[in-house]
Amino acid sequence: MKIRSVGEFGLIERVKNKLPGLKNAVLGIGDDCAVINYTKDKYLLLTVDMLIEGIHFDLRKFGARKVGRKALAVSLSDIAAMGGIPKYCLISIGMPANTPLKTIDDFYAGFLKLAKEYGVELIGGDTNRAQKLICDVCVIGEIEKKFLKKRSGAKIGDKIYVTGALGGSIKGRQYDFTPRVIPARVLVRNFQVNSMIDISDGLSSDLVHITESGNVGAVIYESRIPVSRACKSVKEALADGEDFELLFTMPQEISEDVLGKRLGVPVRMIGEIRNKREGVRIIDKKGKKRELKTSGYKHF
């Protein structure tokens, strides 16, 4: 059997099934960050993400500075998804021997500028030769135990909210996006959020991560989905990956304007958490219900 036939999530599930279960960790495989005990009131958050030239980025087209920024931003987004504060990072990097030094200088310029903006300290890494530029960034963050948000936890009746606009990030926003660390902090400190994830695989896939882990169903309204100007259709807004917006559920229905002003980013209420029996559905502009297909980015 080949990896292709089990896919990314099948593979992760396979690894998980080999494990004896958690001994000391609070949360292991299956959320945006791993969670471990830290102090009496706080947890540590850990996340690691790899970017590979030709798969995650086009070095020639976008330049190393943007790639360096993105390498850190994707992990900051995972810290945001838990409601946390990023603190430290480590980076492993591989490249061909004939890579111009300027490429690496530019990469670090982009990386370190974002690190400075978010007060993240680079504390180590690893360097290797590779056939293409490849990097793997680990970010360590912290979160007050009482504010920790997981993918699981959505309750029937919760409203489903999303920040920003979705789709078409391949046109460039995938390099320039603002990781939603600050809005996520405002959210977890001031609102009763039951579940949260960052949208990296695409709205439809990431909504299913929320419903599956919470053992619930959902309904969303096509007319409410915020479609980015960079994409043409709701279909793309549902399927395209790398939006790095927040998807979260809350029992209260709060005005989008009020919430948007508090968070400093536009917010849309796109639907509601339902009983698992109802599945995950989308209601189109004519009022017709259909099953929501998960169609996000697939590595295998």
Q: Which does 206 bind (CB under 5 to 8 A by kind): Mg ion, ligand ADP, none?
A: none
CA distances from 148 to 90, 182, 228, 249 (A): 23, 15, 29, 14
Query: In the bound complex, what is the minimum distance in angstroms from residue 85's beta carbon to Mg ion?
Result: 16
Query: In the bound complex, what is the minimum distance in angstroms from residue 61's beta carbon to Mg ion?
Result: 25
Question: Which of 16/229 has CB closer to ligand ADP?
Answer: 16
Question: Which of 150/274 has CB closer to ligand ADP?
Answer: 150
Q: Which does 53 bind (CB under 5 to 8 A by kind): ligand ADP, Mg ion, none?
A: none
Q: Which does 97 bind (CB under 5 to 8 A by kind): ligand ADP, Mg ion, none?
A: none
Question: Which of 106/198 has CB closer to ligand ADP?
Answer: 198
Say whether residue 78 binds Mg ion (CB under 5 A). Answer: yes
Q: Tokens representing 151? A: 């993918």
Q: Which does 240 bind (CB under 5 to 8 A by kind): Mg ion, ligand ADP, none?
A: none
User: Considering only 1-9, 25-33, 171-179, 236-244, which stretch makes contact with Mg ion by CB under 5 A?
Assistant: 25-33
Say whether residue 201 binds Mg ion (CB under 5 A). Answer: no
Question: Which of 188/247 has CB closer to ligand ADP?
Answer: 247
Query: In the bound complex, what is the minimum distance in angstroms from residue 209's beta carbon to Mg ion?
Result: 9
Q: Which does 29 bind (CB under 5 to 8 A by kind): ligand ADP, Mg ion, none?
A: ligand ADP
Say whether residue 158 binds Mg ion (CB under 5 A). Answer: no
Question: Which of 198/272 has CB closer to Mg ion?
Answer: 198
Q: Which does 15 bind (CB under 5 to 8 A by kind): Mg ion, ligand ADP, none?
A: ligand ADP
Write out the residues near ligand ADP by the rule CB under 6 A. 12, 15, 29-32, 49, 78, 200
Q: Are strands 246-250 and 195-198 parallel, antiparallel or unpaired?
A: antiparallel
Query: In the bound complex, what is the minimum distance in angstroms from residue 69's beta carbon to ligand ADP?
Result: 17
Q: Tokens representing 141? A: 């963050």
Measured CA to CA, the distance from residue 202 to residue 207 in angstroms comes to 8
Query: In the bound complex, what is the minimum distance in angstroms from residue 180's beta carbon to Mg ion?
Result: 11
Say whether residue 32 binds Mg ion (CB under 5 A). Answer: yes
Among 136, 198, 201, 272, binds Mg ion (CB under 5 A): 198
Three-state SS string across the chain, please? CCHHHHHHHHHHHHHHHHCCCCCCCCECCCCCCEEEECCCCEEEEEEEEEEEECCCECHHHHCHHHHHHHHHHHHHHHHHHHCCEEEEEEEEEEECCCCCHHHHHHHHHHHHHHHHHCCCEEEEEEEEECCCCEEEEEEEEEEEHHHCCCCCCCCCCCEEEEECCECCHHHCHHHHCCCCHHHHHHHHHHCCCCEEEECCCCHHHHHHHHHHHHCCEEEEEHHHCCECCCCCCHHHHHHCCCCCCEEEEECCCCCHHHHHHHHCCCEEEEEEEECHHHCEEEECCCCCEEECCCCCCCCC
Instruction: Enumerate binding residues for Mg ion (CB under 5 A).
Output: 32, 78, 198, 200
